[in-house]
Amino acid sequence: MKARHDQHFLRDRRAIERIVALSEVSGRSVLEIGPGEGVLTAALLQAGAKVTAIELDPSLVAGLEERFAGEIGAGAFTLIHGDAVRVPYPAFDIVVANLPYSASSPITFRLLEAGFEQAVLMYQREFAERMAAPVGTPECGRLSVMVQTYADVKLCFNLPPGAFSPPPQVASTVVRLTPHEPPYYIADREVYAAVVRELFSHRRKTARNGLRGGRGALGAENVERAIAGLPEEILSMRPEELSLMVFAMIANLCTGEKKPSPQ
């Protein structure tokens, strides 16, 4: 069976139980993205969650509407037919999802912008490990910096391809994200995101040259102000060597702030 819309349906009952147990979902509003045939949905509802699910595939939507007709009628389950990368998110407390791997990055960033108490998300193992890579090490990247700026990342457990139908070509990892305020003051979150993006799009270059390569996105005047305000030690580093404090410092200089201050 070929996976539609990059979906691989979780079949491992023990894994489903472990995923649901990672958050206290009873009595909470839970967002599920890509419910597929509803195996995880059923477990969440059984655990006492009030679930809203977003599903793209119209044939799966029809199956979910039939399977959970009683729960829909009782107001325990709401189904949204749409693309989780674009559709407006409803209010929710917790998100639990087996994400489509090709859309993992944009959905994760959208969730962080939307805000939540906790997220339990399934990712391709390599993606999850990049997300959790310590900032300031060669393994880190834009994903590591952006997620860890706004959330604690815990790799919970791995699953083999055989836990899914059809089996993906890669191993998977369940990750728990717990949001927190940025550890350093950020004057403008959009500028911060742009700085991180531009520096890692030039990750083989020093911070000085990476910033200058991003003048089109950041503004030439802003870039030169940031370079003038940074010590040579930082300007000569590559992006993967920078700390969260330094990323905040660079972004704040681009917006006219002198330096980040701890919150």
DSSP of 193-260:
HHHHHHHHHTTTS-HHHHHHHTHHHH-HHHHHHHHHHS-HHHHTS-GGG--HHHHHHHHHHHTT----
Specify the residue for token string 């993006």: 197
Question: Cβ distance 254 to 223 under 8 Å?
Answer: yes
Question: Is 6 within any annotated ligand binding site?
Answer: no
DSSP conformation class of 163: G
C-alpha distances in angstroms, 182 versus 27, 97, 141? Answer: 29, 24, 17
- Residue partners of 161: CB distance under 8 A and separation at least 6: 167, 168, 169, 170, 171, 172
Coil, helix or strand for 108?
helix
Cα-Cα end-to-end distance for the chain:
51
Alpha-carbon distances, residue 168 vs 101, 120, 164, 171 (angstroms): 10, 20, 7, 7
34 marked as part of a ligand binding site? yes
Query: Residue 55 annotated as binding?
Result: yes
Distances (CA, A) of 135 to 132, 199, 239: 9, 14, 10
Q: Is 10 annotated as a binding residue?
A: yes
Do the annotations mark residue 98 as ligand-binding?
A: yes
- Residues belonging to the binding site for S-adenosyl-L-methionine are 8, 10, 34, 55, 83, 98
- Residues belonging to the binding site are 8, 10, 34, 55, 83, 98
